[in-house]
A and B are shown apart, each in its own frame.
Chain A
Amino acid sequence: MSAAGALIAVEHVSQVYAGRDGAPNWALRDVSLRIGRGEFVCLIGPSGCGKTTLLHLVAGFVKPTSGTVSFAGTPVAGPGPERVVVFQEYALFAWMTARQNVEFGLRTRGVPRAERRALALRALERVSLRHAADRYPHELSGGMRQRVAVARALVVEPEVLLMDEPFAAVDAMTRQSLQEDLLRLWRETGVSVVFVTHNVDEAAFLAQRVVVMGANPGSIRADLAIEAPHPRDRGSPRFAALYSDVADALAAHHGRKAA
């Protein structure tokens, strides 16, 4: 994929934070990554390897210390509704109902009230939460809140969903149904997804491509294509093979590092 053809192009990006006493801490060192339109990519790696930093660079929350991040051919200058982030938790506005949360991104672009409302209800319908439209976030379970967060992101029709361990805080059963719903929405909308996780099963179940990262300094260690079609059956031998591919790639780099 050429830099021009890629939806997201991260070129030789380094991100350095000042640690204690101002010592440089390389959150990312010389990272290059291209992601195409419609791709479903998982970033996986141990905590502290710079996954969130990389996602925030693409979102435009931070500017790289060096290197460039571009989106659809133009350098990223700040956050924007073509690249919406779904956070791990507590990102829904606590003072708005589920419907008002979903309407937020439409309100910022001046969509008239009635239309906004209809679009928001339809978006909630797609995550099976129309019945909870008038509830406040504290009245929703963790899984429901993440569904609302996904609806809130999708309603502005972004080109990419940037998801930072969005299902890490929910129980295992809920997580599986959230994953299945996300795959369905991805197929229906054609949106690209960059999905951060530290969970091998999650990456093997979701991704078309798994980017394995390592820490100290944060960098990309492997880039695996996963050919298996969706939906994937967790009980199948094929899935077991996928799982061990991803797990091996993670272990290879960490094993070597630790040894």
Chain B
Amino acid sequence: MSLASSDARIEPGTDTRPPAGSFEEAFRAEHRRRRRHAAMWRLVLNAAGIALFVIAWELIPRYSSWINEVLFPPPSQVFEAFVPLLLSGEIVKNIRVSLLRAASGFGVALVLGIGAGVMTARLSWLQYLFEPLLHGFRSIPAIALIPLCILWFGIGETSKTALIAWGAFFPLWITTFIGVRDVNPIYLRSAACLGAGRLTTLFLVVLPAALPFILAGIRQALSVSLVVLVAAEMSGASSGIAHMMSEGHQLFRVDIMFIGLAVLGAFGFLVDRTFVAVARRLFPWYQITS
């Protein structure tokens, strides 16, 4: 307030500048224009990068003698193989099967991992009871369990879900544990003075305070889920993207293997983008507190 009045003294009423309103309008329009321009430029370069890659991939096998087109089919051939798979609905079916497996395993891990993380962080006796087991099991790569899992559960969905859940559980447990353990005690004390009980404190204070850690765990668990999914499908399955790829391997169809790789790449990318968008949307305060 005092600043505004001293401004008025320095620049008395006889002001020849255009009214502030139109200047601000123009400033805003210019700002918007620049932002749009920068975003467009970025998109153009993104698209150019992809186009360059595809062109090089198309031309090099065709015009060089040192690359075998059967082992390294150009995009036009891969696309030709892709169209019938798409039209027959086979690829869509495989994508759906794979996504369902990844989602069910990840879902189980999400519930168990966050639950275990919260319990072990809040109850020290549970922590001491389970920490040797959890840390011991955590060191076993999920892929090493595939043969055993197939023996126990066969090559059906149970064994895939169990393997993915196993792999995704540990990053979720560890990050939730750290996040909950390190919640600022001032938050807990504020909640207690304001009359919050255990459940209110858990859902309104502890979990949101631990969220930056939990989200990091979720992101890691998502990528682990995809890795374990592929390994499990390759070692015994009758459908799924990675199964389609091993069939391609047996039939010596590199183009089909390439399609599988492209789909898996797209999976990973879209899952991560979706995760970021959902997190931004749900937790507008998250960027700052993380």
A residues near B, CB below 8 A? 59, 61, 78-81, 83-85, 87, 90-91, 93-95, 104-105, 107-109, 136, 138, 152-153, 156
In chain B, residues 200-225, which have Cβ atoms closer than 8 Å to a Cβ of chain A? 200, 204-205, 208-209, 211
- B285 contact from A95, A105, A152, Cβ within 8 A: A95
Cβ 8 A contact of A81, one of B184, B193, B205, B211: B193
Per-position 1/0 for B166-201, Cβ under 8 A of A: 000000000000000000101101111111110010
Complex: A109 Cα to B186 Cα, angstroms: 20
- B284 in the interface, Cβ–Cβ < 8 Å? yes
Contact indicator A87/B200 (Cβ below 8 Å): no
A136 to B196, CA, bound (A): 21
**B283 touching A95, Cβ below 8 Å:** yes
Q: Which residues of A have CB within 8 Å of B211? A: 95
* Shortest CB distance A7–B (Å): 16
**Which 8 A-B pairs have CB atoms at the shortest separation, nearest pair first?**
A105-B194, A79-B192, A81-B195, A95-B208, A108-B195, A108-B196, A138-B288, A79-B193
CA distance A109 to B197 in the complex (A): 10
Q: In the complex, how many angstroms separate the beta carbon of A69 from the nearest chain B beta carbon?
A: 15
Q: Are A104 and B196 in contact (CB under 8 A)?
A: yes
B261 CB to closest chain A CB, in angstroms?
40
Select which of A78, A87, A90, A94 is within 8 A of B192 by beta carbon.
A78
Query: What secondary structure prevails in chain B residues at the interface with A?
Result: helix
Contact A93/B194 with A108-B200, A136-B284, A138-B289 known, Cβ cut-off 8 Å: no
Residues of A within 8 A of B286 (CB): 95
Residues of B with C-beta under 8 A to A108: 191, 194-197, 200
Residues in B with CB closer than 8 Å to A109 are 195
A-B contact count (CB 8 A): 70
Interface residues of B in 125-142 (CB under 8 A from A): none
> Which residues of B are at the interface with A, using a C-beta cutoff of 8 A?
184, 186-187, 189-197, 200, 204-205, 208-209, 211, 283-286, 288-289
Complexed CA–CA distance, A94 and B286 (Å): 9
12 contacts between A and B (CB under 8 A): A84-B194, A85-B193, A87-B189, A87-B190, A93-B190, A93-B208, A94-B289, A95-B208, A95-B209, A95-B289, A107-B200, A109-B195
- Which residues of chain A are near B204, meaning CB under 8 Å? 93, 104, 107
Chain B residues contacting A152 (CB-CB under 8 Å) are: 194
Q: What is the minimal beta-carbon distance from B287 to any residue of chain A, in angstroms? A: 10
**Are B285 and A80 in contact (CB-based, < 8 A)?**
no
Which B residues touch A153, using CB under 8 A?
Answer: 193-194
The CA of A84 and the CA of B186, in the complex, are separated in Å by: 13
Nearest neighbor of A87 in chain B, beta-carbon distance: B186
B285 near A138: Cβ-Cβ < 8 Å: yes
A156-B195 CB under 8 A given contacts A94-B289, A136-B284: yes
Residue of A nearest to B190 (CB): A91
CB distance from B170 to the nearest CB of A (A): 26
Distance in Å: Cβ of B253 to nearest Cβ of chain A: 51
Write the chain A residue with the least CB distance to B185.
Answer: A61
B211: shortest Cβ distance to chain A, in Å?
7
Give Cα A61 to B208, complex, Å: 22
Q: Is the pair A85, B190 in contact by a Cβ cutoff of 8 Å?
A: yes
Tell me whether A59 and B193 are in contact (CB under 8 A).
Answer: yes
Which among A61, A79, A81 has the highest number of chain B CB atoms within 10 Å? A79
